[in-house]
Amino acid sequence: MENLPLSRKYIPDDKFLNALAEAYRLQEAIISATELAIISTTPEGIITSFNQAAEKLLGFTAEEVIGKHTPVLFHDPDEIVLHAKRLSEELQETILPGFDAMVFRSRIRKVSERREWTYISKNGQRFPVILSVSALWDEKESLIGYAGIATDVTEQKKIEEKVRSSEAHLQILLNSIDDLVFEVNRKRVFTNVWTKRDDLLMMPSRENYIGKTMNEVLPQPLSILYEEAIAKVFTTKVSQHLEYPLPNGNHWNASKISYIDDEQVIILVRDITAQKQAEFLLRESEKKFRLMAENMPGAIYLCRNDETYSMIYLNERIKDITGYTAEDFVSGKTNFVNIFHPEDAPDIFKTVDEALAARKSFLLEYRIYHQSGEIRWIKEVGAGIYELDNLLMIEGIITDITAQKNAETELLKVAEENYRLFNNSVNLSAIATFDGYFKKLNPAWYYLLGWTEEEMKSRPLKEFIHPDDINATAQAMAHIVNGNNLATFENRYRCKDGSYRWLLWGSGSDIKHELIYASAIDITERKKSEEELLLSKQNLETIALRLQEQNRQLDEFAHIISHNLRSPVANIKALINFVNDQSSIDDYRLIFEKIRNVSNNLGETMNELMETLKVKNDTEIERIEIRFKDILDKVIQSLEGELIQCAANVTYDFNLAPKIVYPKTYLESIFQNLLSNAIKYRSPDRQLTLHISSDAYEGRTELRVRDNGLGIDLERFGEKLFGLHKTFHDNKEARGVGLFLTKTQIEAMGGTVAVESEVDRGTTFIIRF
């Protein structure tokens, strides 16, 4: 179009405006009447015009796109990304995928750029177009926008495909011409030979054939084969086909012997070595395919590209998906077309046909009717198998995605419910970004604090937090940003009138999208009540805690006294039983010395227990450095009578961890309980052996106490093993306190205790301090 001068110097105002209006109306009429889809945009890509042809082509109305979208809406995103990548490589600068990649050349070169793109209509249909993009400039050479003219080339593509198909069929026909042609008379004499390849002849040249019989030219087995076939042709006038290996064994030929007249037959011979090799490879490939197919999670298939996609092969997993067996499909008893959901069938046929025509794989999601009548969702991935330009069959895999589809439906319902819950909740619900801005808030915020939505979303959320709470809030956010949930957190938020409200929070994070999801309630009134009750409550709590600690200490002391005194008393009894009227004075002295040791240890234990009882709730039990050997010696002395009675063999190894910092009373009690238990529950069928060892384990000290006693049935008693007053053997002295007390003391110091045991094989206690 010729540029018209726009100077008001030559056109009066009214005439100028009328001419301009007329030109605009003419332009609009032309754009509306053309069958070309014309779309114009601002320099930023926002659509400013969208003619009727564009509406018809893409399915969108002008009102839906003008001022709201860029033409990127209609393009295949993968094509835009690929185009931007190629453009960046070509120009040696970064071109971002998007509208700029589509118009970059037309803007830089100031010429229209014409290229093929894939458009996607509103209903999801994909089709090729030729798009011409032009940059629009005003008289001052300022960019004022872009114009694009799109032409649907779907039919053109189909015509091109038909041309390619015709050319392919012609090529196949040319390639199918036999390599050798012979004329042979009734007497089996060669009368004519035609060939393009002399290397396929059995004789040095074609002249060696003319006038000679088949017996003279061919090996005897092959000559006999041809004699029989030619005789049948002369008799029946029906063509005969032969396949045979050549004498060298490395090549195969195929022959077609056809009737010409009562005196002549024509023999067409071609080399089928490659075909035979392909058949062998195909058989091997099919074996591998079947082996793989039988072990795939979905249903593998091979089918024909006919009206019903008749099956050549299916693995048996198809029964789990459809309810029908593989044999039902292969035999033709049923087919997939019969079980397609009627609403999905047209799209299935269309997608498959287009993919096969383009030699691309296809991906489908559709519904079928299971044999039971139930509707199931199917995902299918498939592709054509070609030989040259011939489509031989279709292969693919089918999986059942019913559960996934049901989950998606439920997820959509949940999303809708969450939206309603979010906006109608009386709680304060919010979504915030990791960088500290509100992204979404429900209306309860505005009612409580008085700020508008824009005011709260445009400022960092720390501006609303009480200055004294900013550091604690920052720490809480850091905790959440690292992927942790925060069940309860309190801080104060500023209202628009300058007052503050106390909020109680619960929060979680989405690290992938860098979002924080939070819900809060107003606890201002509760905080006021708490402050009023705090003073009186503190006094009551102090008294209660003191009483509680005293009760705990008394209870613990009572258990330790009752348990730790029992073993020394039993030991004294056992030592006394060693002497009688016949004992010598030396026996009495020995026993007396051992009783003295027990008495001294008992006194020391009592003193230490009394010291422990004095520990207050604000004072930790004293920990000192102790040698395991010293504690073991003391406990063995207190149990010496019983150990002698049962002839126990006690060994130890503390070389790897000889010392520990620990409460002496607790460690002595642990040794006392475990050794006395080993004596108490020893096997009557063998000598008691005890081994105590220490080691370092993951930065902690580990103690093991192993015996060969009766053992414990952990399947029956494992959960009750450390329960108070729980016993597991018929022993009249057992009270079920020792292991309870041992576990309590170990865990009170931050340790753990575990047990390994087999019935009648012994027990090992593993303590990690």
pLDDT at 139: 85
pLDDT at 273: 83
pLDDT at 738 over 50: yes
pLDDT band at 175; cut points 50, 70, 90 = very low
Fold of the CATH domain 549-768: Heat Shock Protein 90 (3.30.565)
- Gap between the Cα atoms of 711 and 752, Å rounded: 20
Closest CA to 754 of 696, 702, 679: 702
- Gap between the Cα atoms of 724 and 657, Å rounded: 31
pLDDT band at 382; cut points 50, 70, 90 = very high
- Least trusted range by pLDDT, from 228-232, 412-416, 660-664: 412-416
Q: Which CATH superfamily is domain 425-522 in?
A: PAS domain (3.30.450.20)
pLDDT at 284: 74
pLDDT band at 572; cut points 50, 70, 90 = confident
pLDDT at 123 over 90: yes
- Gap between the Cα atoms of 484 and 508, Å rounded: 7
pLDDT at 587 over 90: no
Q: Which CATH superfamily is domain 175-271 in?
A: PAS domain (3.30.450.20)
pLDDT at 349: 94
Evaluate whether 708 touches 691 at the Cβ level (below 8 Å). no
pLDDT tens-digit series, residues 498-545: 999 999 988 888 888 899 988 888 888 888 887 777 766 666 666 666
Residue 686 Cα to chain centre, angstroms = 57
**Mean pLDDT over residues 435-454, rounded?**
89
pLDDT at 617 over 50: no
pLDDT at 334: 93
CATH 3.30.450.20 is held by the domain 277-406: yes
- Least trusted range by pLDDT, from 39-48, 196-205, 679-688, 726-735: 726-735
- Least trusted range by pLDDT, from 2-11, 709-718, 755-764: 2-11
**Mean pLDDT over residues 267-272, rounded?**
86
pLDDT at 36 over 80: yes
Evaluate whether 34-152 and 549-768 have a shared fold. Answer: no
pLDDT at 373 over 70: yes
pLDDT at 745 over 50: yes
379 φ/ψ angles, rounded to the nearest 5 degrees: -115, 130
CA distances from 542 to 528, 533, 556, 593, 612 (A): 22, 14, 21, 50, 21
Closest CA to 267 of 257, 277, 259: 257
pLDDT at 161 over 90: no
Average pLDDT, the chain: 83
Q: Percentage of the chain with pLDDT > 70?
A: 82
Evaluate whether 663 touches 621 at the Cβ level (below 8 Å). yes
Residue 223 tokens, joined: 């000559």
pLDDT tens-digit series, residues 270-279: 888 888 887 7
Could you state, in order of their start, the residue ranges of all structural domains in the chain? 34-152, 175-271, 277-406, 425-522, 549-768
- Least trusted range by pLDDT, from 154-163, 169-178, 694-703: 169-178
pLDDT at 272: 84
Q: Of 64-68, 195-199, 606-610, which has the strongest mean pLDDT? A: 64-68
Fold of the CATH domain 34-152: Beta-Lactamase (3.30.450)
pLDDT at 170: 41
Give per-residue burial for 372-389: e unless 16+ CB within 10 Å, then b.
Answer: eeeebbbbbebebeeeee
pLDDT band at 612; cut points 50, 70, 90 = very low
Amino acid at 148: G
pLDDT tens-digit series, residues 282-304: 777 667 666 665 666 788 899 99
pTM attached to this predicted model: 0.29
- Gap between the Cα atoms of 94 and 87, Å rounded: 8
- Least trusted range by pLDDT, from 269-273, 363-367, 672-676: 269-273
- Least trusted range by pLDDT, from 18-27, 49-58, 200-209: 18-27
- Gap between the Cα atoms of 673 and 583, Å rounded: 32
